[in-house]
Amino acid sequence: MSMVEEDNTRSKAPPTIGSSLVPIINRLHEVIASVGSNLLNISLPLVAVVGSQSSGKSSALEALVGRDFLPRGCDICTRRPLLLVLENRSVSPGDDGAEWGEFRHLPGKLFYDFSKIRREIQAETDRGAGLNKGVSDKQILLKISSPKVPNMMLVDLPGITKVPVGDQPSDIEARVREMIMTQIRQEKCIILAVSPANSDLATSDALQMARDADPTGSRTIGVITKLDIMDRGTDARNFLLGKVVPLRLGYIGVINRSQEDINKNRSIADALSREEKFFRDHPVYSGLSGCCGIPQLSKKLNQILEQHIRMALPSLKSELNSKMIAVAKELQTYGNVVEANVEKGVILLNILSTYCEDFSALVDGSSQDISTKELSGGARILYIFQSIFVKSLEEVDPCEGLSDDDIRIAIQNAAGARNVLIIPEAPFEVLVRRQISRLLDPSLQCVRYVYDELIKISRACEVTDLQRFPKLRRRMDEIMVKFVRDGVKPAERMIRNLIEMEMDYINSSHPNFLGGSKAVELASEQLRSQQGIADVEKPIEKSQNSRAAITRSLGSRSSVNNEKPVSSGGNTSTRTWGISSIFGTRGSSGGNPSSSGTLGELDGSDQMPATIQLIEPPSVLRPLEATEDETVKIFATKLLIRSYYDIVRKNIQDLVPKAVMHFLVNHTKRKVQSTFIQKLYREDLFEELLLEEDEVVLKRKRNEELFKVLQEAIEMLEEVESDVSTGKRSPTDASATIAPSSVIGIGYQLRSTTKR
């Protein structure tokens, strides 16, 4: 039997237990590629074709498929990874055995002309990688269905190139190598390392990268191409036998179609016939029939892939179960398609009710999703009240911004032209009102902080069905923001009224207020205490300063009349202090009043004294140094301001949070649902509000398909696992035997029983 006839017989044989898994893996590859690897990142068994540029990769793939469909040329052709899914379709009655291809990016469009498949690959490559030899890692998915192909998944990777051409970047070699390594590093990937026979196998880039990704060589198959163009007198026997670069899975040698065959449109069937004849008649290769030819490569790949799937079966099943649960959860977020208005009304009402319940639960702290990392919901509002608002007010100095001079001037201004005997009320009330007014700004800031938190809470309400309807979400956000903003106004108005009430009436009869007499008493004690400390520190210096001051005073008085001070032993007839000492005398007679002139009468020998001129008062008058009495009044006024400010501050610390909770927080909890229903629950708005985006519809469809495929795959895996565990197998499965448990819990091995 020839190799071609043997391959046809093999392709028509009933599938084995292992081969029954391959279509499921094929289907998973299609779905994963269609939904994107980010959504379902599952590593599935496949065959990755690696080789240098023009090493013959494309020819080997075309020979496996039996069709000429890949772009060819003298320079780089494979510029995007091509995921090739081969589906062996059984021929049913009435089926003409047609072969066709389908692209992921053109779903539903079948290509029966394989030359059009080649042109579409080229066009899609240009769309993704540019028109001038650019390279991209975005896959192209092509599925080929035929009764003549084996069930297999292959990915044709760009050839390893070293010199950039066209629009390729200067580091094109590093990029291509990284793209290849990303694929072949996966443990479920079988590496098909393609090397031409007319080059040194020891320097093969494909084998070098395969060794880096698969050091043990347990999943690398070597393919040696172009055996027919080796120099005369040489052969690849040692290569094929693994004597140059050993591989555990061995090598397969193949013959590529020549450019002349391609130019003359010779079929691949003819090329396979010539290949079979070449190996049969060759003196060296005729004895190596088990590792020569495309049919042997197809058979070996299929067997290794099936065995690889069996080995990966336990971990694959676990991974599929996890992904199916994740897909089911995501499907719940998309919900079911709703068309009837009655159902739409029920859904809308349920969304609004659930949203408001979640909002209230977050504020009250009764939500099921309680964070353990940070404060959230109502706890943040309480933190604003206690740790920000109340604490900030307690840290404020009631007399901040009021100096002693400010208080003293206010007291004197309140007294007018009269001297102040006691502390006047007017300056105290003016000053304390000024300090109370400072409480307004932090109180209004507190309202704004709580407003921001309510908006955050509203946006944290993740109702499952609400995610499906972006227009409804936007409308609810708009209504919620406006509703909460409207609640800010009465809260702010109430707070302003509270501050104005405190400023409008200073209740000096408050039981906790210090009072004027008590303030004066405390101020006097404080002043005496300060003076006592000063007297203790410098008693001697103070006494000396006092005597010196008296001496200076007496000296200055005597100098006014140009007289010397009275000594203790002086004459008693010395001039005495009196009117004459102030206004002066006319003669030197011993105080005879008859010799003195009348007031204002001066003889011609005396001169008139100079006129006394007062200093003009400045435009701004400030008092001189405070007296002891004024110091007491300043201290007492400060004590009164502090006492009354503390009373008002405690009131504000208590009433502002109450106003915010009543007018803003609790009002929102009570009324927001009725507001939603009033503005949104209208039949003419159902269709607009419950309109899903195209992306959501597409995601639901893809996830439904993905869920179905995952479910079917798991059922198939369980069925195969059950057959293996009970020792059952297909009666036609001549290539599989039950062995002791030695392959990751499945103990299922392949061995060939067919000998040539």
- Give 63-90 pLDDT, tens digit per residue: 888 888 888 766 667 788 888 888 888 8
Most confident of 341-355, 442-456, 715-729: 442-456
Claim to verify: residue 228 and residue 113 sit in the same structural domain: yes
Site of tokens 């927080």: 665
Claim to verify: residue 511 and residue 636 sit in the same structural domain: yes
Claim to verify: residue 271 and residue 395 sit in the same structural domain: no
Comparing 37 with 517, the larger pLDDT belongs to 517
Mean of the pLDDT values across residues 687-703? 79
Question: Does residue 670 lie within any of the structural domains?
Answer: yes
Domain CATH code at residue 630: 1.20.120.1240
Over pLDDT 90: what percentage of the chain? 16
Q: What is the pLDDT of residue 147?
A: 87
Phi-psi region at 52: left, alpha or beta (left = phi > 0; alpha = psi -120 to 50): beta
Q: What is the pLDDT of residue 474?
A: 87
Claim to verify: residue 129 and residue 241 sit in the same structural domain: yes
Claim to verify: residue 261 and residue 409 sit in the same structural domain: no
Domain count, the chain: 2
Give which of 291, 229, 299 is closest to 260, Cα–Cα: 229
pLDDT confidence tier of residue 176, bands split at 50, 70 and 90: confident
Claim to verify: residue 398 and residue 518 sit in the same structural domain: yes
Q: What is the pLDDT of residue 751?
A: 28
Helices 341-364 & 470-504 angle (0-180, nearest 10): 40
The Cα 58–Cα 164 span in angstroms is 21
The Cα 466–Cα 703 span in angstroms is 19
Q: Is the Cβ–Cβ distance between 42 and 710 less than 8 Å?
A: no
Question: Does residue 206 lie within any of the structural domains?
Answer: yes
pLDDT at residue 649 is higher than 80: yes
Question: Does residue 334 lie within any of the structural domains?
Answer: no
Question: Does residue 260 lie within any of the structural domains?
Answer: yes
pLDDT digit string (tens) for 382-433? 999 999 999 888 887 777 766 666 666 666 666 555 666 566 677 777 888 8
Question: Does residue 649 lie within any of the structural domains?
Answer: yes
Q: What is the pLDDT of residue 652?
A: 92
Q: Is the Cβ–Cβ distance between 382 and 365 less than 8 Å?
A: no
Question: Does residue 192 lie within any of the structural domains?
Answer: yes
Claim to verify: residue 58 and residue 194 sit in the same structural domain: yes
Domain CATH code at residue 208: 3.40.50.300
Q: What is the pLDDT of residue 624?
A: 58
Comparing 92 with 559, the larger pLDDT belongs to 92
- Strands 46-51 and 110-111, sheet pairing: unpaired
The Cα 165–Cα 132 span in angstroms is 8
pLDDT digit string (tens) for 47-63? 999 988 878 888 888 88
Question: Does residue 255 lie within any of the structural domains?
Answer: yes
Most confident of 328-332, 419-423, 665-669, 714-718: 665-669
Q: Which of 662, 690, 718 is the last residue of a domain?
A: 690
pLDDT digit string (tens) for 261-308? 777 777 888 888 888 999 998 888 888 888 899 999 988 888 888 888
pLDDT confidence tier of residue 321, bands split at 50, 70 and 90: confident
Q: Which of 690, 708, 738 is the last residue of a domain?
A: 690
Question: Does residue 564 lie within any of the structural domains?
Answer: no
Mean of the pLDDT values across residues 461-487? 85
Give which of 470, 754, 515, 552 is closest to 639, Cα–Cα: 515
pTM above 0.75, yes or no: no
- Strands 46-51 and 152-156, sheet pairing: parallel
pLDDT digit string (tens) for 80-117? 888 888 888 887 777 777 889 999 888 889 999 998 99
Query: C-alpha angle 175/180/182, rounded to 5°?
Result: 95
User: Where is average pLDDT lowest: 39-43, 114-118, 393-397, 673-677?
Assistant: 39-43
Mean of the pLDDT values across residues 443-460? 92
pLDDT at residue 150 is higher than 90: no
The Cα 18–Cα 308 span in angstroms is 9
Exposure of 327 in the CB half-sphere (CA atoms within 13 A): 27
Q: Which of 237, 269, 292 is the last residue of a domain?
A: 292
What range defines the domain where residue 676 resides?
Answer: 386-524+626-690
Claim to verify: residue 509 and residue 403 sit in the same structural domain: yes
Q: What is the pLDDT of residue 485?
A: 92
Mean pLDDT for all residues in the chain: 75
